[in-house]
Amino acid sequence: MDAVRPRDRILDTADALFFSVGVRAVGVDRIVAEAGVARATFFKHFPTKDHLIAAYLERRAERARTDLMALREDHRAQPQRILSAIADVVDDYRNLPGFRGCEFINAAAEFADPAHPAHRLAIDHRQWVTDFLVEVLADMGHDDAYATARAMMMVRTGALVGASLEIGVADSSIGTLLWNTLATRGLRAMTSAD
């Protein structure tokens, strides 16, 4: 007997399918079949597919936040190392087998209505990551943490979207160079002023 609870099996199955194929491309019937649950069980845990999509994105966001907070804790003595570690994580992520783009960017594109829960969760996650970067940059003594964090998010977005369009192209040197340049830009100005 499978020890994984039905709700978790449904969510695990949806996670794999949504990430590899796309949220709109996967129907409830396929999730039910691959999770090995009855339709009634699916709808008991997720009244609509939108509820499942929200749970999927919430779980992905929580994992990302936990990972980022762990990076911050691991490198608290050297905050600039946090930014390098994030660049490494983005590079690793975009080079995963079958990578087809960031799940949050894809969800925002697939559900363009700003009122849709998937779109809202994508925006909320992006704001959380931006706020996290602002805090890290401020801890480093960056002179314009907010503007730099926003620019870093544009670089991150470009790297992730670019990777989904350039299948098989693993060169991330341009994105990493831009990221690292932004990370140190405000610091140089402060150091030279001292």
List the chain domain ranges: 1-47, 57-193
| Strand (E) or helix (H) holding 115 | none
Query: What does the pLDDT read at residue 111?
Result: 96
How large a percentage of the chain has pLDDT more than 90? 58
Q: What is the mean pLDDT of residues 112-134?
A: 97
Could you please state the CATH topology (level 3) that the domain comprising 57-193 is classified under: Tetracycline Repressor; domain 2 (1.10.357)
- Which of 33, 27, 32, 65 shows the shortest CA–CA distance to 49? 27
Q: In the structure encoding, which two tokens stand for residue 185, read together?
A: 């830009």
Tokens of 24: 């709109």
Is pLDDT larger for residue 163 or for residue 68?
Answer: 68
Whole-number Å distance between alpha carbons of 90 and 102: 10
pLDDT at 188: 45
pLDDT, the chain, mean: 87
Provide the pLDDT for residue 191. Answer: 45
pTM of the model: 0.85
**Which two tokens mark 159?**
């790297």
Count Cβ atoms below 10 Å from residue 54 Cβ, excluding itself.
18
Q: Give the HSE-up count for residue 160: Cα atoms under 13 Å, Cβ half-sphere.
A: 18
Report the first-to-last Cα separation within the chain, whole angstroms: 67
85: pLDDT confidence band, cut at 50, 70 and 90? confident
Contact 100, 164 (CB under 8 A): yes
CATH of 1-47, one of 1.20.1510.10, 1.10.10.60, 3.40.1410.10, 3.40.120.10: 1.10.10.60
